[in-house]
Amino acid sequence: MVATLYIDGAWRQASDGSAHDVHSPHDQRIVATVSQATQSDVQDAITAARESFDSGIFSSWSFNERSALVAKIADLLERDADLIARKESDDTGKRFIEAQYDVADVVSTFRHFAALGLKEHGRVVDVGLDHVSSRIVHEPLGVASLIGPWNYPLLQIAWKVAPALVAGCSFIVKPSELTPQSAIALMKIIEEAGTPKGVANLILGPGSVVGTPLINDPRIDLVSFTGGLTTGQTIMRAAATTIKKLALELGGKNPHIIFADADIEAAIDNAVTAAFLHSGQVCSAGTRLIVERSIHDQVVNEIVRRAGLITLGGPDDRLAETGPLISQAHLSNVSQYVEKGVAEGAQLLVGGKRSDLPEHAQGWYYLPTVLDNCTSKMFCVQEESFGPVMTVEVFDTEAQAIAIGNDTPFGLSGGVWSKDAEKAARVASALRHGTIWVNDFGPYRPAAEWGGYKQSGIGRELGEHGLGEYLEIKHIWTNNAPSRSGWFRAHE
The residue from 52, 67, 201, 231 that contacts ligand NDP (CB under 6 A) is: 231
Please confirm, yes or no, whether 283 is among the known catalytic residues: yes
Interface with ligand NDP, residue 365, by CB under 6 A:
no
Interface with ligand NDP, residue 206, by CB under 6 A:
yes
Q: Return the H-helix or E-strand segment holding 403.
A: helix 398-406
- With CA atoms as reference, report the closest residue to 369 among 343, 334, 410, 414: 334
Please confirm, yes or no, whether 169 is among the known catalytic residues: no
Interface with ligand NDP, residue 413, by CB under 6 A:
no
* Count of chain residues binding ligand NDP (CB under 6 A): 32
Q: How far is the CB of 204 from ligand NDP (least distance, A)?
A: 8
Considering only residues 130 to 189 of the shown chain, the ones binding ligand NDP according to CB under 6 A are 147-151, 156, 174-178
Q: How far is the CB of 461 from ligand NDP (least distance, A)?
A: 7
Choice between 66 and 244, CB closer to ligand NDP: 244
Tell me how many helices (H) and strands (E) the chain has.
15, 20
Interface with ligand NDP, residue 45, by CB under 6 A:
no
Considering only residues 374 to 393 of the shown chain, the ones binding ligand NDP according to CB under 6 A are 384, 386
The residue from 227, 352, 387, 405 that contacts ligand NDP (CB under 6 A) is: 227
- With CA atoms as reference, report the closest residue to 203 among 224, 228, 176, 226: 176
Catalytic residue among 88, 177, 283, 393: 283
Please state at what angle helix 81-92 crosses helix 63-79, rounded to 10 degrees.
Answer: 70
Pairing of strands 30-35, 19-23: antiparallel
Catalytic residue among 249, 292, 384, 461: 249
* Residue 433 DSSP class: S
Q: How far is the CB of 129 from ligand NDP (least distance, A)?
A: 45
How many Å apart are CA 39 and CA 46, to the nearest integer?
11
Considering only residues 94 to 123 of the shown chain, the ones binding ligand NDP according to CB under 6 A are none
Q: How many C-beta atoms surround the C-beta of residue 297 within 10 A?
A: 10
Angle at 359 between CA 354 and CA 365, to 5 degrees: 30
> Measured in whole angstroms, how far is the alpha carbon of residue 12 from the centre of its chain?
28
- With CA atoms as reference, report the closest residue to 383 among 314, 337, 441: 337
Interface with ligand NDP, residue 249, by CB under 6 A:
yes
Choice between 175 and 314, CB closer to ligand NDP: 175
Choice between 59 and 385, CB closer to ligand NDP: 385
How many Å apart are CA 168 and CA 177, to the nearest integer?
27
In contact, 355 and 312? CB cutoff 8 Å: yes
Angle at 224 between CA 436 and CA 476, to 5 degrees: 100
Q: How far is the CB of 407 from ligand NDP (least distance, A)?
A: 18
Which residues are part of the catalytic machinery? 249, 283
Binding site for ligand NDP (CB under 6 A): 147-151, 156, 174-178, 206-208, 211-212, 215, 226-228, 231, 234, 249-252, 283, 384, 386, 412, 452, 457
